[in-house]
Chain A
């Protein structure tokens, strides 16, 4: 259109700079779309989070409402199943579908809250050990070794038994116990970046140590931490289920998936679905979180190498 060659040149360079940003993003998006595990895991996870957020609206019935006239109705795939209780009812006549939906909500709540506590502990210890090295690092490694030597399930069971089961206690105990992977990853990631030029530059500019740790190191290693966080949420959910299964997790009548399996295990030989339903839901939820976490790791790892 324009006859002026200089203007044409400006336009070309403008479009090319504009084109660079979207391509990087589009690249990531294309790779994400091609990553089967990430897509399946992410898709299921979106569904799980949606169900958890809107559990009271989605669940057809009150998960606590007992109805002894309809105990142990079979699920829909059985010959005499009915649509009114798609996944059947438990031995107190509570709607299994509603309990599973609320169970997913509790699982995610416990997983997220416990990991928030453990992330703070693990990230703090890891960054201290990784950045300062020397004696501080030896101390961090020692604390980490002691923590790893403590058997998580046994200690958690003992504390819950001595204090008395409650939702808050389970979250607190798990949060205080499962920070080890955060510390390990944070420590090694910090060791990798602490000698980089931009950190030295920040130090030369007179940045305070907390500032360097908080706004120079933490953002750079954040992708690794997101991966650890997803895997630890899955871990916390499995641990809570195991504790509740043994009767020392969240107390009844809360609809925890582990508790549902525990309540149903007396009937499992004759009616395998009573443990099948909550178990499969638990498995699928944890699988989705793990696939998503593995996907994030693959995508961010390749992003950095490029």
Chain B
């Protein structure tokens, strides 16, 4: 088990390094950082002076080495637009995005798992059809549009929830629904398929023959096994949510990492942009790593192989 975790940690570290290299070269080669610092109206010689001053004329490998050396010590550079260190801003904004992600994935799981279980218990009935329709519709709804619709009806017309800001938990309701529903179709389908398979297995028949209660069979015995693949998918979806939160946070003016990413992209704030992409990647890596370890703990076959 320990060896398995160490191996996974090593791969996760390599992925993080590769992602940082890709991001660094992408950001540096797609835009000219010297122009970004000097501003669009700066004279050519000023741009050149800044290029030399900031060391941007050196080869990109050396620049990366310098950046990585600082980043590993938690120094992600300085944001000239926010006038603070990037790491400080990121830490400031992180709680909002983490709250949004946690609430969104909870919403997705609370919607998808009961629906999936219901659909598997009554396959090919009207209940199954309804669950399927919800998942098909969910997959096709553009999330930014759905967010606007929620905003117009629940926020403005019926004034049930606030539509901008992040000061109270009520502010998170609409954004979490808008972000979370998108993950629910995949989770629902997987729960349904897993439950169908498990419910047909021998040990469930034994449990039935022993006369166990239906609820105890479903939730204590069947769901536990059916949920193993769901853990991985939910983790992947959670990782995607941190990336997708840029759209939702912008719409609902939540002051999190998504908003920060959006602002840094708009102002060509390269240091911040890079840090945010890297943090996003790190959250994805951590989420999937946690799921792998959890799965290995749940299912011994995984950690042996």
Enumerate chain A interface residues (CB-CB to B < 8 A). Answer: 37, 142, 145-146, 148-155, 157-159, 161-163, 234, 238, 241-242, 245-246, 248, 258, 261, 265, 268-269, 272, 275, 279, 282-283, 286-287, 290-291, 294
* Alpha-carbon distance between A258 and B144 when the two chains are bound, in angstroms: 9
> Contacts A153-B247, A161-B265 known; A282 to B285 CB distance under 8 Å?
no
Question: A148 and B284: CB pair below 8 A?
Answer: yes
B38 to chain A, nearest CB (A): 15
Least CB separation from B33: chain A residue: A162
Interface of chain B residues 133 through 171 with chain A (CB within 8 A): 136-137, 139-145, 148-149, 151-152, 156
A and B contact pairs by CB, cutoff 8 A, 28 listed = A142-B18, A145-B11, A146-B15, A149-B15, A149-B19, A149-B239, A150-B277, A150-B280, A153-B243, A153-B244, A154-B261, A157-B246, A158-B30, A159-B26, A161-B265, A162-B30, A163-B30, A241-B145, A242-B142, A245-B144, A246-B144, A248-B265, A258-B144, A261-B144, A272-B152, A279-B145, A283-B145, A287-B140
Scoring A37, A142, A157, A248 by chain B CB atoms within 10 A of each residue's CB, the highest score goes to A157
- What 0/1 readout, one digit per residue, does chain B (4-23) give for beta carbons within 8 Å of chain A? 00000001001110110011
Question: A238 and B236: CB pair below 8 A?
Answer: no
Question: B143 and A242: CB pair below 8 A?
Answer: yes
Contact of A242 among B22, B151, B247, B262 (CB under 8 A): B247
Which residues of chain B are near A161, meaning CB under 8 Å?
31, 265-266, 268
Which residues of chain B are near A279, meaning CB under 8 Å?
142, 145, 148-149
A278 to chain B, nearest CB (A): 8
Least CB separation from A163: chain B residue: B30
New A-B contacts (10) at CB < 8 Å, excluding given A153-B243, A279-B145, A286-B142:
A142-B18, A145-B11, A149-B281, A157-B261, A161-B268, A241-B144, A268-B148, A275-B152, A286-B139, A287-B137
Interface check B131, CB cutoff 8 A? no
Question: A158 and B27: CB pair below 8 A?
Answer: yes
Least CB separation from B265: chain A residue: A161
Contact of A282 among B145, B149, B156, B280 (CB under 8 A): B145
Which residues of chain A are near B143, meaning CB under 8 Å?
238, 242
- What 0/1 readout, one digit per residue, does chain B (96-123) give for beta carbons within 8 Å of chain A? 0000000000000000000000000000
Please report the total number of B residues contacting A with Cβ < 8 Å.
47
> Contacts A151-B243, A161-B266 known; A146 to B18 CB distance under 8 Å?
yes
Least CB separation from B153: chain A residue: A272
Question: B250 and A275: CB pair below 8 A?
Answer: no
> Contacts A146-B19, A146-B22, A162-B31 known; A157 to B144 CB distance under 8 Å?
no
A123 to chain B, nearest CB (A): 21
Main secondary structure of the interface of A (DSSP, over half): helix
Scoring A146, A150, A151, A272 by chain B CB atoms within 10 A of each residue's CB, the highest score goes to A151
Which residues of chain B are near A269, meaning CB under 8 Å?
152, 156
Question: B136 and A158: CB pair below 8 A?
Answer: no
> Contacts A234-B140, A242-B247 known; A151 to B145 CB distance under 8 Å?
no
Interface check B34, CB cutoff 8 A? no
Which residues of chain A are near B277, meaning CB under 8 Å?
150-151, 154-155, 158
B44 to chain A, nearest CB (A): 20
Question: B136 and A294: CB pair below 8 A?
Answer: yes
Question: A283 and B243: CB pair below 8 A?
Answer: no
